[in-house]
């Protein structure tokens, strides 16, 4: 029996190459008996504009489908269509130390960047734990920034089980890439840092973005170190091993400028995401197709979440 995968992505902006290689690619590779959802409850901690939230939610769903998620294999749903997770969150809050949440990396990070810390932001990892535990997920494929949240979920499941018996399955994680995917400034790619390359950017806008990738100031003739170069790192995600080796040799040999490498990267992005972009555009013309998938996903996910929540209620004496 395949392990049960679950993961969520917040609808808080256009998805980018970091999201694709850090998360979505792995989701599409592990679809059987899997649950993937659009974390719109979580997004409310940062997106507080109704129309924007709706638009983004549709965009994430359509992007998943365009990237190859097959709704006959995996369950694709909107988090808010499974309100059981909020109920489960409360039960988990009662076994979670308040101090633990203050150590949450995303809470600390957002606070450090001056984003006002609501109680929602603080308790965000508990809702994430509820998402995971609600469907008895065994593996959560995410980028490295999310590892702490999965460990929190595991801790919460353990605490609850310790008190009330074996109610929850203990989840683990799998990383999409060993290192975070770098953005155009060399830092971790993130929509909140404004250094991202959206998956479906194309034409002039994509070219401008790729050309803006920061490199050192070595001239065309100089020998260059591929391992420290953002252009090479991004190219490596898209190229075959042979192509990667070839570019590394060109870097080292000299006579190959960053401009050349950027054009090679641009070509790869276009070739890789072009067909997905066309499918994505198809969903703009037929939004009902996406809605139908989400409605069906909601039904299937909710059934599982209801059963787990009932199990937890009974275990702690609510039933």
Q: Which stretch binds ligand TRP (CB under 6 A): 1-9, 159-167, 191-199, 248-256?
A: 1-9
Options 103, 108, 111, 188, the catalytic residue: 188
Q: How far is CA 78 from CA 35, 81, 239, in A?
A: 11, 5, 33
Nearest approach, Cβ of 24 to ligand ADP (angstroms)? 8
How far apart (Å, rounded) are the C-alpha atoms in residues 161 and 176?
29
Task: Report if residue 145 touches ligand ADP, rule: CB under 6 A.
Answer: yes
Task: Yes or no: say if 176 and 209 are a contact pair by the CB < 8 Å rule.
Answer: no
Angle (deg, nearest 10), helices 230-238 and 241-253: 160
Smallest CA-to-CA distance from 141 within 184, 172, 102 is with 172
> Is residue 132 a contact residue for ligand TRP (CB under 6 A)?
yes
Contact between 8 and ligand TRP by CB under 6 A: the answer reads yes
CA distance to 122, 154, 234, 313, per residue, from 140 (Å): 21, 11, 24, 24
The least CB distance from residue 192 to ligand ADP, in Å, is 5
Per the listing, tokens 């830092």 go with: 187
Told to check if 7 binds ligand TRP by CB under 6 A, we report: yes
Does position 215 interact with ligand ADP (CB under 6 A)? The reply is no
**Residue 187 CB coordination number (10 Å):** 13
Angle between helices 287-315 and 50-66 in degrees, nearest 10 = 100
With CB under 6 A as the contact rule, the residue among 17, 101, 142, 294 that binds ligand TRP is: 142
Total residues contacting ligand TRP (rule CB under 6 A)? 14
Q: Are 290 and 54 in contact (CB under 8 A)?
A: no
* Catalytic annotation, pick one of 3, 26, 110, 268: 110
Alpha-carbon separation of residue 295 from 177, 182, 302 (angstroms) = 31, 35, 11
Residue 178 half-sphere exposure, CB side, CA atoms within 13 Å? 2
Of 87, 93, 169, 191, the residue at the interface with ligand ADP (CB under 6 A) is 191
* Binding residues for ligand TRP restricted to 88-107, rule: CB under 6 A: none
**Active site includes 207?**
no
19 binds, options ligand TRP, ligand ADP, none, Cβ within 5 to 8 A by partner type: ligand ADP
- Please count the residues of the chain: 319
Q: Could you tell which of ligand TRP, ligand ADP, none binds residue 192, using a CB distance below 5 to 8 A set by kind?
A: ligand ADP
Is 191 among the catalytic positions?
yes
Active-site residue flag, 111: no
37-76 residues near ligand ADP, rule: CB under 6 A: none
Q: Which residues bind ligand ADP (CB under 6 A)?
A: 9-10, 12, 18-19, 22-23, 142-143, 145-146, 176-177, 180-181, 188-192
Q: Which residues bind ligand TRP (CB under 6 A)?
A: 6-10, 39, 42, 128, 131-132, 140, 142, 146, 149
The residues annotated as belonging to the active site are: 110, 188, 191
């Amino acid at each position: 029996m395949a392990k049960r995968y679950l993961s969520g992505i917040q609808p808080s902006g256009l998805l980018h190459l970091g999201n694709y290689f850090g998360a979505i690619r792995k989701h599409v590779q592990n679809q059987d008996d899997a649950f993937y959802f659009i974390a719109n409850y979580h997004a409310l901690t940062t997106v507080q504009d109704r129309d924007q939230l709706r638009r983004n939610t549709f965009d994430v769903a359509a992007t998943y489908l365009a990237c190859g998620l097959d709704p006959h294999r995996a369950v694709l749903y909107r988090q808010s269509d499974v309100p059981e997770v909020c109920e489960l969150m409360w039960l988990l809050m009662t076994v979670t130390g308040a101090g633990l949440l203050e150590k949450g990396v995303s809470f600390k990070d957002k606070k450090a960047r001056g984003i006002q810390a609501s109680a929602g932001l603080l308790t965000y990892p508990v809702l994430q734990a509820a998402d995971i535990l609600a469907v008895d997920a065994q593996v959560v494929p995410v980028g490295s920034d999310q590892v702490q949240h999965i460990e929190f979920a595991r801790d919460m499941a353990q605490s609850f089980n310790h008190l009330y018996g074996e109610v929850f399955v203990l989840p683990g994680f799998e990383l999409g890439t060993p290192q975070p995917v770098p953005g155009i400034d060399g830092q971790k790619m993130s929509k909140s840092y404004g250094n991202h390359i959206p998956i479906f950017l194309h034409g002039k806008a994509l070219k401008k973005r790729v050309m803006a990738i920061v490199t050192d100031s070595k001239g065309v003739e100089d020998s260059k170190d591929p391992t420290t170069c953002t252009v090479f790192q991004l190219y490596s995600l898209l190229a075959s091993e042979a192509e990667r080796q070839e570019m590394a040799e060109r870097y080292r040999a000299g006579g190959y400028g960053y401009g050349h490498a950027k054009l090679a990267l641009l070509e790869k992005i276009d070739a890789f995401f072009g067909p997905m972009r066309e499918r994505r555009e198809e969903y703009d013309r037929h939004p009902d197709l996406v809605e139908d998938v989400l409605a069906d996903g909601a039904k299937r996910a909710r059934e599982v979440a209801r059963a787990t929540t009932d199990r937890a209620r009974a275990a702690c004496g609510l039933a």
